[in-house]
Amino acid sequence: MIERHGEVFLQRVYTPAEIAYCQSRRQSVQHFTGRWAAKEAVLKALGTGWVKGISWLDVEILNRPGGRPEVILRDGAKEVADKLGVKEVWISISHCRSHATAFAIAMGPDSKNDMNEP
């Protein structure tokens, strides 16, 4: 997709911060596909998938200074999360040359967070 559609594709799917991060990495395509998988996983955790009113840019995957990925929800995705009482979404991303996978856990107000911040 990236090779076929280039910058137009990147701007429809990824935020400027995501593009900058992925392009700064040695294996940038792997990082783009990992984020694609993460965005899919987040919306599946919210129970919506890609429906009208939610765009690719409504889910942003950033990295904290220690490297842990962080989910930022906006617009349609944030509205859905708020209606469900989701306060935080945790993700894990893995990728290699030929595959990318991710999973997401939507955490509500009663979810216990025992993770130590880096």
pLDDT for 113 equals 58
Taken as a whole, the chain contains a residue count of: 118
Which of the pair, 117 or 18, is modelled with greater confidence?
18
Q: pTM (2 decimals)?
A: 0.83
Task: Name the nearest CA neighbour of 22 among 37, 33, 11, 6.
Answer: 33
pLDDT for 104 equals 96
DSSP, res 65: T
Task: Name the nearest CA neighbour of 104 among 49, 52, 28.
Answer: 49
The CATH class for the domain spanning 2-107 reads: alpha beta
Q: Bin 78: left if φ > 0, else alpha if -120 < ψ < 50, else beta.
A: alpha
Residue 3's pLDDT band, with cuts at 50, 70 and 90, is: low
pLDDT tens across 18-76, in order? Answer: 999 999 988 888 999 999 999 999 999 999 887 778 999 999 999 998 889 999 999 99
Question: Token pair 């429809």 is at which residue?
Answer: 12
